[in-house]
Amino acid sequence: MIASVPTAGASVATDVVNGTDAVAAAVPHAPDTSGPDVADVIVELKNVNKVYDGVTVVRDLNLSVRAGEFLTLLGPSGCGKTTTLRMIAGFETATAGDILLQGVHVEDQEPFERDVNTVFQSYALFPHMTVAANVEYGLKMKKVPRAERATRVTEMLDLVQLGGFENRYPAQLSGGQKQRVAIARALINQPKVLLLDEPLGALDLKLRKQMQVELKRLQRKLNITFIYVTHDQEEALTMSDRIAIMHDGVLEQLGTPVQIYDRPASKFAATFIGETNLFEGYVADLTPDRAEIVIESGRIAVELPDDSVPGKPAFGPEDLVAVSIRPEKVRFSATPVPDFVLAGQVKDVIYAGSFASALVTIPNGSEVRIQRRAGEALPQPGETVHLYWELADAVPILGQSGVVFDTIIAATLATDEAAADALNATPGAVKRDAFDVAAATNDATDPDLQREQSEQREYVDRAPTDAGTHSTDLHRRQAG
């Protein structure tokens, strides 16, 4: 946009007579360059379904991938993300639905007819060919003349920083080098779209981080659309322009990393990406822009998104909802706060280098995590704090199945007397037959991230005493 402004200005200045025309010509051009357009869509999936032996692996998937973007299909194993990728590549046939590449139906095209290439999870390098022969393979198949092949192979190997490895065999390469060869081999035919199936899964953490940066750089440089499959939420946040979260074969949310982190559209999205505190309850009081929600441990409030937000949930009174609030957005106070009835005792404070968090046990026994950068104020263990947040920071999520909820209610009513007692004892708690369950979760669902954090975690153990004095005892624990 910045570049187009002087051009328009120049044509106005030099071409005074037709100045108005020049401006008029510039205006319709604007939407093409800024917003997404039909012409921008390079891969389109329409109502795609995939059924294996009666099991639906991908369900009614609609997805438009824009030219030049880095799109990540993110989800746990078995969520259908790899199947989706393989349908785009042509290794799997969709049971129903349309797959379009640059507006052309490709459902019946063989993989070698599609202008996409794949980087396989296991690299799938040909073990009987040298690095150069592996990279050259695609060009040979496309019958590119020998001389041109040689230069392009050299260029491509230089691009992935493997110059000089031409005559090695895959068995003589490290994991990271194999990965680079796989990428070079897939890129040599200059595909419109590069499909990557967990390409960094086999690499160790340090190398993986380095390759993430390199892949992203490569993608920007070549301006090729990348569709990237991973189960690693951190990887997805780091690299992607947009993330598509898949769960049980369904696309749960599609958006930029910021959108997905700040406004998760489902409980799954909220817990799968980053850490969050999740409260479940029912809408007690509703105004156009905010809702008060009764939960097992008290009462909380949340601002409702304005109508401009796409997919805005329509809440009604008594609707069952979940509220997601990120640990860094949770606030605390020594005194009660208006709109909120949510108090708890600080159980533990955990120091993790660049940040620290406090775990607060709320009346129903679950924990709420408050996270702060190191050095910022946190409550002390043993203290009773009142929890609250800026209403706009919390995200209300609609859409629990009533059936599931009833089942849980029945189960908890039958077994959990203690929880009911806690409910009665809590000030402000509402006794209600149809509602009994609320949970606050603050576990990161990604095991890799948890492991990583625990590896470098330092615990500050403070034994809580009733008089408010604390015996501090700092020691390291090595998880492992």
Partner 1 sequence: MPATTDTGSRTRTGRTRGTRSRHNFRGNMLPAALTVSPVAIWFGLLILVPMIYVIVISFCSLDSNYNIVFRFTLDNYKRLADLDYLQIYGNSLLIALTSTVICLLLAYPFAYLIARMRGRAKIALYMLVIVPFWTNSLIRIYGWRTMLGAQGLFNKLLMGAGIVDKPVEFLFTRGAVILGMVYALFPFMVLPLYTALEKLDGSLLEAAKDLGARSLKTLFTVTIPLTATGIFSGCIMVFIPTLGYFFVSDVLGGGNSSMIGNVIESQFRRGNNWPLGAALSVILILITLVLVKLYQRAGGDMESLGG
Give the nearer residue to partner 1 in terms of CB position, either 128 or 475: 128
User: Closest distance between partner 1 and the C-beta of residue 113, in Å?
Assistant: 9
**Shortest Å, Cβ 193 to partner 1:** 12
Structure tokens belonging to residue 249: 């074969």
**Is residue 131 a contact partner of residue 181, using CB atoms and an 8 Å limit?**
yes
Minimum CB distance to partner 1, residue 224 (Å): 15
Q: How far is the CB of 110 from partner 1 (least distance, A)?
A: 7
> CA 295, CA 454: separation in Å to the nearest integer?
31
Binding site residues, partner 1, CB under 8 A:
89-91, 110-112, 117-118, 120-122, 124-128, 137-138, 141-142, 169, 171, 185-186, 189
Cβ closest to partner 1, residue 24 vs residue 141: 141
* Shortest distance, position 258 Cβ to partner 1, whole Å: 33
Q: What is the DSSP letter of 157?
A: H
Nearer to partner 1, 127 or 338 (CB): 127
Nearer to partner 1, 181 or 293 (CB): 181
Paired with 359 in beta bridges are: 348, 369
Amino acid at 51: V
Residues 254, 265: contact at Cβ < 8 Å?
A: no
Q: Letter for the amino acid at 347?
A: K
What are φ and ψ of residue 478, in 5° steps? -95, 120
Contact 194, 220 (CB under 8 A): no
Alpha-carbon span 27 to 247, nearest angstrom = 42
List CB contacts of 98: < 8 A, sequence separation 6 or more: 44, 45, 46, 47, 48, 105, 107
Nearer to partner 1, 180 or 326 (CB): 180
CB of 90 to partner 1, least distance (A): 8
Q: How far is the CB of 275 from partner 1 (least distance, A)?
A: 35
For residue 184, the minimal CB distance to partner 1 (Å) is 12
Q: Decide: 48 and 97 in contact? Cβ < 8 Å.
A: yes
Nearer to partner 1, 142 or 220 (CB): 142
Nearer to partner 1, 125 or 429 (CB): 125
SS3 at position 139: helix
Helices 146-159 and 131-141, packing angle to 10 deg: 130
Instruction: Specify the residue, 112 or 258, whose C-beta has the smaller distance to partner 1.
Output: 112
Secondary structure of 296-327 in HEC code, one letter for each residue: CCEEEEEECCCCCCCCCCCCCCCCEEEEEECH
Residues 6+ apart with CB under 8 A from 179: 123, 199, 200, 202, 203, 211
| Cβ distance to partner 1 smaller for residue 112 or 316 | 112
Q: Shortest gap between Cβ of 186 and partner 1 (angstroms)?
A: 8
Q: List the beta bridge partners of residue 195.
A: 118, 227
H/E stretch holding 421 reads helix 417-425
